[in-house]
Amino acid sequence: VADFTATVGGTVTPVGTIPHLTLGLAVTGSVGPAGVVPPPFLGVPDGGTVTPSGVVTVTIIDVAAGRVAPTGAVSASITGHNITDVESGTVSPTGAVVVSLSGIKVAGTVTPTGQVRVDSCANTLYELLVRLYERLDDPGPAAPVYYRKADAVHALNVANRLFVLLTLCIERTATFNLVNGQPFYRVADQITDFLVPLRVSSGGVRIRADRLHDLDGRDASWRNKAGSPERYAQAGFGEQGVLAVTKQPSVGVNTLTVTYAATPSALVNDSDTTEVPDEHQPALVDFAFLWCRLKEGGQELANAVEYLKKFLDDAQKYAQFVRAKSKGQLYDNVPYDLTSFDRSKFDLKLTKMKPQKLTARDLK
């Protein structure tokens, strides 16, 4: 359970107030005599216990919501996070306590005596940071000592982008508008997170991937051929490259349906989550650990290389799944085959420094 734990504090009576600490955002809600804390949330294990007269400990990532027992004390403290604002909420005989941060709701169940467990698997950026700082043996993202939070966030973003690049795991489908009679387009004009095309269709009919050179070879007049699109060629980096389409529609409003591998959005806010599959998110921490340790060099780096290999193992496993799936669907691009990459080259052989023998002259 991760990012930080929040013990929401205050007195609960049939009617009362809950003072809280939160992340600087308004926290409001009500507490009912007995009931449910819908905790939350985006995949963050969220837990706590409620007794009729007791303490509610809630692990909050972004938002916590729920109802608290009829009478009792609710005390709150949030640790592991740079929280200074004090917020308050309303407790009434019946109702719900809703703690919301950044518009993300944390939901769970609270019984008069019991534990709140949230069954979501996605890690927020903050949770990933906590894991990374634990591995780095640094106090944490709230009060880092050796690694600035911004640097750790960057490390996780590099990991996120590399994992997605290795596996092409983010797949999107978008509509691409065609101009009648126009053979060339720039993907960036309509799709901003484009990496490589996977499948393109027009009017429900798939069109085939090709190369500019082959389009020339097939038909010298391909760029002036009226009709429904039959082939496309995409060359160059991501969305900045050239997209050629033949044939070119001449009448009406025409579009392509483009399924493509996308680049991930940057992780910025604590509540942001990655699009990497939940089960592979710990791999991001593995890579980020290496990234942070790079500047240490020596044995620290040699140790961190093992985590890099774990990251690559994870990526390979998922890339194989995506490859198989993509081949099954006859996609136009499949992820890079990581098995062909020699990982042993990452191994570091550090030279041991031999103690210098002192001679009698040195001792003089």
Partner 1 sequence: MSVDVTTVISNLWPLLHATSNADVVSTSDAELTRLISDELRKVSRTYGCFIARDTTSIIFVSGTPIYNAPPDHLSTLHIAYNGKPLTPTTTFELEALDPNYLTTAANGSKGPVQNWYSDKNGPNLIGFYPVPAAADVGLSPEVIYHIMPCGIDEAHTQTIINAPAFFGDYLEIKAMADSYRKESDLQMPEVAKTLDQLAALYEEIMKSLWGMSQ
Residues that bind partner 1 (CB under 8 A): 148, 151, 154, 158, 161-162, 164-166, 184, 188, 192-193, 195-196, 211-213, 216, 220-221, 223-224, 233-242, 263, 266, 294-295, 297-298, 301-302, 305, 308, 333, 336-337, 340-341, 345-346, 348, 350
**61/43 Cα distance (integer angstroms):** 9
Pairing mode of beta strands 205-210, 231-235: parallel
Distant-in-sequence, close-in-space partners of 219: CB < 8 Å, separation ≥ 6: 225, 246
**Which CB atom, from 31 or from 267, has the smaller least distance to partner 1?**
267
Here the tokens at position 61 are: 């990532």
Write b or e for each residue in 113-130: b if 16 or more Cβ atoms lie within 10 A of its Cβ, otherwise e.
eeebebebebbbbbbbbb
**Which CB atom, from 107 or from 304, has the smaller least distance to partner 1?**
304
Beta bridge partners of 198: none
Closest approach, Cβ 254 to partner 1, in A, equals 20
Closest approach, Cβ 236 to partner 1, in A, equals 3
Closest approach, Cβ 195 to partner 1, in A, equals 6
Closest approach, Cβ 11 to partner 1, in A, equals 46
Which helix (H) or strand (E) segment holds residue 133: the answer is: helix 125-136
Closest approach, Cβ 14 to partner 1, in A, equals 53
Neighbours of 28 (CB within 10 A): 15
Closest approach, Cβ 145 to partner 1, in A, equals 14
**Which CB atom, from 97 or from 308, has the smaller least distance to partner 1?**
308
Closest approach, Cβ 62 to partner 1, in A, equals 25
Closest approach, Cβ 183 to partner 1, in A, equals 9
Q: Which of 360, 173, 334, 171 is nearest to 258 (CA)?
A: 173
Closest approach, Cβ 151 to partner 1, in A, equals 5
Question: CA–CA distance from 196 to each of 5, 169, 189, 241, 260 (Å)?
Answer: 41, 12, 15, 10, 6
Residue type, 94: T
The answer to whether 185 touches 245, Cβ cutoff 8 Å, is yes
**Which CB atom, from 117 or from 225, has the smaller least distance to partner 1?**
225
**Which CB atom, from 161 or from 310, has the smaller least distance to partner 1?**
161
Distant-in-sequence, close-in-space partners of 23: CB < 8 Å, separation ≥ 6: 62, 78, 81, 83, 85, 101, 102, 270
**Which CB atom, from 241 or from 277, has the smaller least distance to partner 1?**
241
**94/339 Cα distance (integer angstroms):** 58
**Which CB atom, from 352 or from 357, has the smaller least distance to partner 1?**
352
Q: Which of 136, 141, 105, 111 is nearest to 2 (CA)?
A: 141
Here the tokens at position 315 are: 């990526």
**Which CB atom, from 61 or from 164, has the smaller least distance to partner 1?**
164
**Which CB atom, from 100 or from 246, has the smaller least distance to partner 1?**
246
